[in-house]
Amino acid sequence: MNPRRWLFLLGGAVLLAACSFIAVRTAPQKTASAVRTEASIKADQLFWSTLHGGRYEDIGRNLDVLTAAYLADPADPVTAAHIGWLHIWRISESARLDKVPASITDDAVLAHKYFGEASRLDPAEARYLGFLASSMLADGNVHKDEQLTRRGYYALLDSIRAWPEFNLFTAGYVLSRQPPESERFKQALQWQWETLDLCSGERVDRGNVDYARFMALETTVGAKRVCWNSWIAPHNFEGFFLNMGDMLVKAGDWQAAQKVYAAARLSKTYPQWKYRDVLEQRIAGAQANIAAFQAGDPQPDRVHRRLMIATPFACMACHQE
C-alpha cells in the first residue's frame, strides 16, 4: 500500500476515534427529575401495597404500571429503584413457584439495569448502591461473567463503607449462599456480627447473645434506624435474626444459632409476624438443619429445610405486614 495512503487512513481512524470520544464525553449527563410525576407517585402506592401485602403474584402487573411511569419520566430514581426491587423480589422468591422458568434469570439482568439507573441518578443513596451491587453479583453469576461478579463484590464493599448499618446485612445476606467452608461465607457471617455491634454500640458476645438489654436503643431516625422495624420493613428486626440464625446453623454453630433466633422474640411486633412459626421450628430443629443448610440442595420442604435466602419468604420475612 502507498505509504501516504496508509498514513491518510491511519490519520482518519485516529480522527474518527477522537470525534467519537469527544462526542460521548460532551453529551449531557442524565440527571434526576426535580419534581416527581403524579403517575410515579401512584405507582409508588401500588408498589408498597403489593410488597407489604406479600402479593408476589401481582409483580407482573406492578411492573407494567411502574415501567409506564418510568418511561414517562426516566429520570426518576425512586421509580427506577422500585422496578429493580420488583425484579429482585421475583427472582429471590422463585421458590414459591412449582416450576421455575429459565427466563426468570432475566430478572437479575433487569434489576442490574434499573438499580444502575437509580444509583446513577441518586449516587448519595447508599441503599441503591447496595442493591445495585447485589444485582451485579446475580447477573454475573447467571452469565458466568467473572469480571462483572468481581465488580459487584467490590461495589458491595463500597456500599458497606457508605452505610454499614444497612449494607453489612445486605452484603452478608447475598453471600449466605456461598459454601460454608468458603472465605466468602465466613466473611458474610462476620458482617452479620458487625451489624449487631454497630446497632448495639458495643461488641456483642458471640457465644451468648443477650440482645434484650439493647432494645431501649430502638430509633426511627439516623443511620441506626435500619437496625429496627420501620414502615418500609415492618419486621426487619425479626427477619434479621431469622437469617443470622440460619447462617450460624449453616456454619455448624447451632447452639449460638438458637440464641440468635430467640432474639427475634424481643420485637414488639413478634406476635403479628407471619413467620414466627417458622422461627420457632428453626429453634427446635437447629441441630438437625445443619446438614440441609450446608448441602444447599432443593428440599421437598421449601419452608423449613432451606436457608432463608432460598425460601418463599426471602424478602417477605422482613417486608410483609
Residue 317 domain flag: yes
DSSP helix/strand/coil, 49:
helix
Residue 17 domain flag: no
Residues 113 and 224 in one domain: no
Among residues 140, 84, 129, 127, the alpha carbon closest in space to that of 107 is found at 84
- Domain of 105 in residue numbering reads as 37-162
* pLDDT for 15: 56
* pLDDT for 9: 56
Among residues 59, 21, 66, the alpha carbon closest in space to that of 45 is found at 66
The vertex-151 CA angle with 146 and 155, nearest 5°, equals 145
Report the predicted TM-score, pTM, of the whole model to 2 decimal places: 0.91
Considering 129, 162, 195, which residue would you say is the last residue of a domain? 162
Residue 42 domain flag: yes
The H-assigned helical ranges of the chain are: 3-25, 38-53, 59-72, 77-92, 106-121, 126-142, 146-162, 164-174, 183-200, 236-250, 254-263, 276-284, 290-295, 316-319
Residue 95 domain flag: yes
Residues 45 and 109 in one domain: yes
Residue 129 domain flag: yes
Residue 30 domain flag: no
Residue 156 domain flag: yes
Residues 183 and 55 in one domain: no
* pLDDT for 301: 87
Give the separation between CA 219 and CA 224, rounded to whole angstroms.
7
Residues 258 and 155 in one domain: no
What tens digit of pLDDT does each residue of 244-298 get? 999 999 999 999 999 999 999 999 999 999 999 999 999 999 999 999 999 987 6
Among residues 65, 110, 62, the alpha carbon closest in space to that of 88 is found at 110
Residues 307 and 196 in one domain: yes
Considering 162, 188, 206, which residue would you say is the last residue of a domain? 162
Considering 135, 162, 189, which residue would you say is the last residue of a domain? 162
Range with the lowest mean pLDDT among 24-28, 188-192, 200-204? 24-28
- The single-letter DSSP state of residue 218 is -
Residues 97 and 214 in one domain: no
DSSP helix/strand/coil, 321:
coil
What tens digit of pLDDT does each residue of 219-246 get? 999 999 999 999 999 999 999 999 999 9
Q: Is the dihedral of CA 229, 168, 172, 154 positive or negative?
A: positive
Among residues 227, 248, 247, 223, the alpha carbon closest in space to that of 237 is found at 227
Q: What is the CATH number of the domain that holds 157?
A: 1.25.40.10
* pLDDT for 28: 72
Would you state the cell numbers that stand for residue 221, as one nine-digit string?
A: 431516625
* pLDDT for 51: 98
Q: Identify the band that residue 32 occupies on the pLDDT scale cut at 50, 70 and 90.
A: confident
Cell numbers 437496625: residue = 227
Query: How many structural domains comprise the chain?
Result: 2
